[in-house]
Amino acid sequence: MDDINFECTACGKCCHDLRLPLTLAEATAWLARGGQMELLCEAIPWPVEPEADNEQAAYKKARSAATMSGSLPVRVSVLLVAAFAGACPNLGSDMRCRIYEERPLVCRIYPAEINPFVALAPESKACPPDAWQHTPLQRHGVLVDETTRELIGESRRTSELEAALRVQLCLALGLNEAALANEGFVIYAPDSDALRAALQQVRATPANETLAAATPWTFVSNRAVTVETLLSVGAAGRLNEPTADAHFRYHGYFPAEPA
């Protein structure tokens, strides 16, 4: 759909049961307000550089950091997300945001999409049907609001600038396992104090691809065929196993294969 209207109805549905991707600065502020954070880690095998005109590959490369898994070159991508069940801790009973002027970029951009390869689709959003009736949001596939376009550009640039720093953040926390991209995520929920200290350390350090690549990564999967394939091409991998560690879990998009 090229022409889309949108006007917020203040229903609050978009502020419930979320994982909000945050910048490093936003994550620091979120923790200072007492919020909870998670790190979502995925990796993609990168044995050779793709063709120069492969725009999707270029987009993925810019938002990930080069490292190794075994003898296989890979790129690791880390999302730093504010995680909450139910209402956002910053949502008031009147369905208004209590930190509206300092709300995260992703909230400012919603319901527009940040990823240029994901089409804006009202049916994929939490907003009710009457939110999509009036004010122009997109015309001929182009967002009408210049401010939203600028915020999307800012979000994309920040993701590029922070890609190596987010991997360095994981390493500072002793984390170096990731899911295979498009198959799932390894999710870490570190202690807030430890994460706050690691964020302070990383934010004081320039992004360094060499430092980010210093520690090899291991793939985790709930599918034996995935692990076997990765091992066959030189990667390090293991099957996900039940664990009592409350800070670690594997979230797969596909069910585990039968034993």
Query: So what's the pLDDT on residue 176?
Result: 97
Q: Are 74 and 132 in contact (CB under 8 A)?
A: no
pTM of the complete model: 0.94
Q: At what angle do helices 146-172 and 55-62 cross, to 10 degrees?
A: 60
Token pair 């907003």 is found at 127
Query: So what's the pLDDT on residue 7?
Result: 95
- Residue 97 neighbours by CB under 8 Å, 6+ apart: 15, 88, 90, 91, 103, 107
250 DSSP 8-state letter? E
Domain ranges of the chain: 4-252
Other beta carbons within 10 Å of 258: 5
Residue 150 has pLDDT above 70, yes or no: yes
Mean pLDDT on 93-112: 95
Which tokens in the block code for residue 158?
């920040």
Residue 258 has pLDDT above 80, yes or no: no
Distance CA 100, CA 116 (A): 26
Q: What is the pLDDT of residues 161-205, one digit of tens each?
A: 999 999 999 999 999 999 999 999 999 999 999 999 999 999 998
**First-to-last C-alpha distance (Å) of the chain:** 44
Instruction: Give Cα 147 distance to the centre of its chain.
Output: 22
Token pair 């549905």 is found at 13
Other beta carbons within 10 Å of 88: 21
Q: What is the pLDDT of residues 105-130, one digit of tens each?
A: 999 999 999 999 999 999 999 999 99
Average confidence score pLDDT of the chain: 95
